[in-house]
Structures are given as C-alpha cells and as structure tokens.
Amino acid sequence: MNLKRQLLLVSLLTLVLPWAGCEFISETESALRAGQQQMLSGTARAIAESLQQYGEDFPRPSSAPEHILGARLYAHALTREPTLDGYFDDWALSESSLESMRGIGGSIVYAAGTRDEQLYVYISVTDTSVVYAERAGAALDDGPPYSDRVSIISSSPPYLNERIEFAPEAPGNVVAYRETAFGIAAEPTIQATWQDVPRGYQLEARIPLSILGTHVGLIIGDTPEPASPPVRSSNFASQLPGRLATIQPDLQSVVGDLIQPGMRLLLTDAEGWRIANVGELQTRARPTGDAVSAWLRFTYDALVEKGTDARLSEPAASGREQQPYIQSALAGETAAGWYRSAGSGSAVVAVAVPVDLGDAVVGAVVLQQGTEEILSLTNQGLARLLNITLLTTVVVAAVLLGYATWLSRRIRRLSFAADDALDSQTHDGEFRLPSHDASDELGDLSRRFSFVLQQISEYNEYLRTLASKLSHELRTPLAIVTSSLENLEHEQLNEASARYTARAKDGADRLRKILGAMSEANRVEELVRNADAEVFDLKKVVGQAVSAYAGVFPERRFLFKPGPVDIHVLAAPELIVQMLDKLVDNAVDFSQPDDEIVVRLSTSDDEVDLSVTNPGPPLPETMRTQLFDSLVSVRSEQDDHHLGLGLFIARLIAEGHDGRIRADNVDDGVCFTVTLPTRQDAPGGSGESAGSPPRQG
C-alpha cells in the first residue's frame, strides 16, 4: 500500500470524533428525557393529590359479583353532534373505536358516545334476512309473530331494571318503546333511524342520559323468520350489563385547569376506564424534500433509544387504558412510559400516578408531553456535529493527501535519482540527490545515500581502471620473469629443475594472456570513444557475421532471423561485429554440440533489437544485473581461463553507441539482447526509423 493510501486511511480516524459526539448526544438526549420524566412525575403527583378532594366523583367499582355484572359499555366524548342517519361517518371517531361481538348471522359492531347529556348509539348488524315487525310495539309481545330488534338494557342495581326496544316496521325513523316498572310505552324523547345496507342493517339512536340507569348494555335479537323466536347476542355475558363508562364532566372541568399547554392528561377510574381527557400534544410532521434534514433525522433515529410505538401513547380507542405503566399506577405505583414515532421522529414521555384516597386507589392520573424541545436541541447539536466533523474530515483528508503527495514525490525523486546514479557508469564531482539540503529525515536519508553512492562510484572507478593499471604495472616484471625463464632453459638443469622451469614458463604465458585480455578491454573502451561512426545496413553486416560463425563453429547450428525490412544504424561496424563475437562466443560456451543458436533482428519505434539466444542453463536471478561487469563470470571454477571480460566488452560497445544490453531467461535457454537506435536518413532512403548518433569521444 503506497504512502497516499496509508495517510488517507489514517485520516479516517477523524471519524472517531462523530462517533464520540453521537454517543454524547445520545447520553444528552437520555438525560434530558429523564429530567422531563421527573418534571412530569412531580406535576402528575401534585394533580393526583389535588383530586383527592373530588373522590366522590370517581366511579366506584360495583360490589355485585362478576357473574351478575357483565362487560362495560364505553361512551366516548363526542366533539360534535352526529346526524341521525344510520351512518358512522360523522361521529368524529376513528374506525378503531368500534367494538364488536358475535351475532347469529355474522359480526356486529357498535359504538357509543355522549354529548350534551345525550347518549348516542350506533349499531351495525350483518343479517342477510331482515325481518321487520308487523306493527309498532310488537317486539315487546311475548309471542309470534317475531321480528329483528335492538334492545338497550338499563339498570341501577339493585333497584332499576329497564329496557328500550327498537323494532321498526320498515327502514327509516324508528319509534322506541320503553319498558319500566310502570309498563310499556313509546318514548318520545328517544330518536332513532334504522337504515338498510347490503348484507344487514344499521341503527343510530339518541337517548337522554336522564332516563338511563348507571349500567347500560346492548342486546341484538336476530329472527330467522316471523315464526321463530329471536336469538340473543349481547355485549355482556352475565345477568346484568356493566356500568356505563364515560367522561365525567365535573372531573373533566377540574383537570382542564391544572395542565399546561403542550401536555395531555388522561384520568381513569380504578378499572382503567377513561373518565377525563384534556389537552393536546405538540407534534410536528417530519420535513420532506430536504436531503440534509432527512440525513439528520435518519442519524438521530439511529442514535436515540427506540422506545415503544408512539401510537400506543394515544388514548385507547376502546376507552379502557391498559398500558403497563397505567396498570402499575392503578396497582398503587408511579410508573413512566417512553414512546417514539417512526414517521415523525417525535417522542412522548408519559407518567402515571395513582389517585389514592387512603383506603383504595380510585383512579390514575396519566400525564403526557412531547419531546419537541429535546428533539430540536439534539437535532441542532447533531447538525452542528456532523457539519463540523464533515468539514474537519475533508480538511484533514485533503491536508494529509496533499502532504502524502508531496512526501511521496520527494521519495520518488530520491528513488529515481538513486537509480540513475547506480545506472551511470561515470560520475564527475560530488553526488547531490534531491532533498540533500532538507533538514528533515528525508534530507538526512538523501545525504547518507549521496555519501554511499559517492563511495560506490569511487570504488567502481577504481575497479574500472584496475585492469589498465595492472596491465601496465605487471608487463615489465612479467617480461623479466619470462626472459629469465627462457635463459634458464639453456642451462644444464636436472630433471626436477627442468620440470619446475617449464611450469613457471606456462604460468608466465597464462599471465601474459590475462594481461592481453585486460588490455583488450582497455583498447575497446578507447576505440569506442574514438571510433568513426558511419551509417550502414545492420542486417547485411550481421548476416555476413552469422555465415562466418557457421564455419568457425561447425558443431553448432546457426539460424539468422533478419526481419522483413532493412535496418540502418549509425555505428562503427567493426565494433558491432566484435560485440556480436563476444555474444556468440558466450552462446557457444554454454550450449552443447548440435544445439541451435538463433540470431534475430527486430525493430520497434526508433530502435532495433539484436538478440542471440542459445539453449543452456538459466542465469541465476542474482547475477542478471552483475553479469556485464568487469571480471564477473558464472562459469564453473574448473573453467578458470575465462576472466569474465567478454560480456563487459559487449556492454562497453553497446553503451558506446547509445544502446543498452540485457540478459533474460527464456524457455530452455538464455537470450542476450542489444538495443541500438536506428537511422532513417540512410543512403538511398532505405532506413525504417530515426535514432540519435552514437556517443563520440
């Protein structure tokens, strides 16, 4: 991984800042919510204590056994007066407010409400065969003919037991009959409408509360045919209905003066039935169309506690509050609830406090408040945090990326300069790599590299001139030794002395050959500097040389692949042939009899590649770059008559003509390639590409 990517990854550590900030915001939100709960709990407790003086207004549970008293009917407080037309759409209640019970013909749904001391009742019955009464009031008769009917049972245990019957002769307005202890008679204060609908009928009635008892229940009578008695379905399964549960106007008025704006107060009796409901929560819709706001909302939703669905904080549609925290309050313990809306992001904090009269819990005060202020504060903090973090991350990433670019450029320049210095064969003066004068670690590294390269350059220069120095210094002593040995041969020597003298002479001859090879390298280097270059057809010269090699090395097979076009270069032909001789000698030495040696010419752009490929052992990877240095050889130790100067001479000739040489391992062998520049301005215009002239002395 390069330096830029490393520093870019380091810059991502700045994301720890938003994580820490988000954790802080989450803790802040929890602390603010806990404070709001404590405030609401104190307010609700104060309201509960003030309601103790109105203990007589709380409905008390009936002392009658449960098998006598049945389920209770809840009458919602209506905000407007419904029109008596047999339909539910103008009741200002949601469909969830409808209760249901099972009838003989299908389902039965119903609802009740109060307004202006009137009880409103809506009943919808599924009945595929509606049987109407033959005359008014016939439903109260004990015998046939029978008809479908709706009965409202009213009682005040243990004294009052009354019944109100609706048994119309036809759809439309219905005359209600009331059965009391004094007899049966039409009740003009009751108004009702019976409406036929597909698969059944609907009844809507208005009854004065003054003529009803404390307990109210519904009975639906379904008559399959006039001769069959009706089958009863009711909302209670016992002898008498339960107490009518509804809003208590006196308590509603009292608690309405005790709450602040933005709060909602629910008051329940001992069984959880809602008897007061005042105030509205302040909520706001989630904004749309703003990408930033949507992102903040999403982030906020992911941070804070989920809470229970906010819809559960709404007053129960059935009229009976059964949330766990409310049930805990009815059991005598203060409890709290936490609700959040996934749609709007708004949250509701709710607390429930028991209303205790000392001997019994008669109800519970439920106080709820929205968390808009908390939401606003945390969203503002979250917005600032994200904006600052985003800006900080971008700035830090940009600075680190810029610094990484600058630093990597310095390092790359230092690397390229070191490569160029190592590739250069001669160097005059002091090495000064990039960043040499810098005072940081790269400057120190550059100065150390410069010092090392200077030492390497001086040592290489010493090695380069060592051959010429040794050749010059050893020639005179070698001549003296050789002449002395020749004179000694004319003396009378015993057999052992003659043998030792012959061995010394052979060693002197080998030294003379070594000095000759070393002198050849010096002469070639001098020739390269002073040779007269000319433009010639490289393909023709190489072809003639390959033909000669076939006669010189008959045990090898030579294949020349010249390419389709003429190739002209600006060089010294005799030096090019000498370079080719060294490459072919090397190929012959490392190949076996009957092996094929391939000499190939190929062009690309403004250059020509002259390659010699031979079968044989591959080159060691560690020697591929050192193979063309002076006195370097990969031959075995037994083959000590080679000094490793052949490829060195080939490199001198190639580089003297602005070329380069390399060695590569190929399939079952080794390929030596010399790259030279070509010339387009050849005589006769037969050249194929342009190049630069060779280096001249």
Q: Identify whether residues 117 and 216 lie together within a single domain.
A: yes
Q: Answer with the residue of higher pLDDT: 643 or 688.
A: 643
Q: Is 207 helix (H, G, I), strand (E, B) or coil?
A: strand
* pLDDT tens track for 55-66: 888 887 666 555
User: What sign does the CA torsion over 622, 624, 628, 633 have?
Assistant: positive
Q: How many Cα atoms are found within 13 Å in the side-chain-facing hemisphere of 203? A: 32
Position 429 scores a pLDDT of 58
Asked if residue 419 belongs to a domain, the reply is: no
Average pLDDT estimate for 323-338: 91
User: What sign does the CA torsion over 397, 401, 407, 408 have?
Assistant: positive
Asked if residue 385 belongs to a domain, the reply is: no
pLDDT exceeds 50 at position 624: yes
* pLDDT tens track for 109-132: 999 999 999 999 999 999 988 999
Q: Answer with the residue of higher pLDDT: 392 or 206.
A: 206
Asked if residue 544 belongs to a domain, the reply is: yes
Q: Identify whether residues 93 and 225 lie together within a single domain.
A: yes
Domain count, the chain: 4
Q: Report how far residue 649's alpha carbon sits from residue 633's, in angstroms, rounded to the nearest whole number.
A: 13
Q: Indicate the pLDDT class of residue 528, thresholds 50, 70 and 90.
A: confident
Mean pLDDT: which of 291-300, 304-313, 492-501, 672-681 is highest? 672-681
CATH number where 458 lies: 1.20.58
* pLDDT tens track for 344-393: 556 788 999 999 988 789 999 999 987 765 555 555 655 666 667 777 77
Domain termination site, one of 191, 222, 246? 246
Instruction: Report the alpha-carbon angle 62-68-70, nearest 5.
Output: 75
Q: Answer with the residue of higher pLDDT: 108 or 636.
A: 108
Position 134 scores a pLDDT of 83
Q: Identify whether residues 193 and 324 lie together within a single domain.
A: no
Q: Identify whether residues 491 and 351 lie together within a single domain.
A: no
Asked if residue 17 belongs to a domain, the reply is: yes
Q: Answer with the residue of higher pLDDT: 171 or 515.
A: 171
Q: Report how far residue 114's alpha carbon sits from residue 120's, in angstroms, rounded to the nearest whole number.
A: 6
pLDDT exceeds 70 at position 697: no
pLDDT exceeds 60 at position 299: no
* pLDDT tens track for 412-471: 888 877 777 766 555 555 667 787 778 777 788 888 888 888 788 777 777 766 666 666
Q: Indicate the pLDDT class of residue 694, thresholds 50, 70 and 90.
A: very low
Q: Is the pTM of the predicted complex or chain greater than 0.95?
A: no
Q: Is 568 helix (H, G, I), strand (E, B) or coil?
A: strand
Q: Identify whether residues 661 and 679 lie together within a single domain.
A: yes
Asked if residue 424 belongs to a domain, the reply is: no
Asked if residue 402 belongs to a domain, the reply is: no
Average pLDDT estimate for 198-208: 94
Average pLDDT estimate for 585-589: 89
pLDDT exceeds 50 at position 538: yes
Going by C-alpha positions, the residue among 198, 142, 131, 119 that lies closest to residue 168 is 131
Position 66 scores a pLDDT of 52
Q: Answer with the residue of higher pLDDT: 631 or 692.
A: 631
Q: Identify whether residues 349 and 365 lie together within a single domain.
A: yes
Position 37 scores a pLDDT of 83
pLDDT exceeds 60 at position 638: no
pLDDT exceeds 60 at position 687: no
Query: Are 515 and 471 a contacting pair, CB within 8 Å?
Result: yes
* pLDDT tens track for 645-654: 778 888 888 8
pLDDT exceeds 70 at position 343: no
Asked if residue 116 belongs to a domain, the reply is: yes
CA 104 → CA 150, 168, 169, 220, distances in Å?
14, 20, 21, 10
Q: Indicate the pLDDT class of residue 564, thresholds 50, 70 and 90.
A: confident
CATH number where 672 lies: 3.30.565.10
> Containing domain of residue 588, as a range?
531-685
Question: CA torsion 465→467→468→470, rounded to 10°?
Answer: 120
pLDDT exceeds 50 at position 685: no
Average pLDDT estimate for 593-621: 89
* Element housing 552 (H / E): helix 538-552
Domain termination site, one of 199, 231, 246? 246
CATH number where 273 lies: 3.30.450.20
pLDDT exceeds 50 at position 630: yes
Mean pLDDT: which of 18-22, 227-231, 394-398 is highest? 227-231
Q: Identify whether residues 559 and 513 lie together within a single domain.
A: no
* 647-670 residues labelled b (16+ CB within 10 A) or e (exposed): bbbbbbbbbbbbbebbbeeeeebb
Position 693 scores a pLDDT of 42
Q: Identify whether residues 169 and 144 lie together within a single domain.
A: yes
Average pLDDT, the chain: 80
Q: Identify whether residues 671 and 540 lie together within a single domain.
A: yes
Position 605 scores a pLDDT of 78
Q: Identify whether residues 512 and 545 lie together within a single domain.
A: no
Position 242 scores a pLDDT of 85
Domain termination site, one of 246, 265, 296? 246
* pLDDT tens track for 64-103: 555 455 578 999 999 899 999 999 999 989 888 899 888 7
| Lowest mean per-residue pLDDT among 45-49, 227-231, 362-366, 395-399 | 395-399
Q: Is 346 helix (H, G, I), strand (E, B) or coil?
A: coil
Q: Identify whether residues 139 and 168 lie together within a single domain.
A: yes
| Lowest mean per-residue pLDDT among 276-290, 394-408, 661-675 | 276-290
Position 187 scores a pLDDT of 92
Q: Answer with the residue of higher pLDDT: 167 or 437.
A: 167
Asked if residue 361 belongs to a domain, the reply is: yes
Q: Report how far residue 170's alpha carbon sits from residue 194's, in angstroms, rounded to the nearest whole number.
A: 8
Q: Identify whether residues 185 and 324 lie together within a single domain.
A: no
Q: What is the DSSP-derived secondary structure letter of residue 320?
A: B
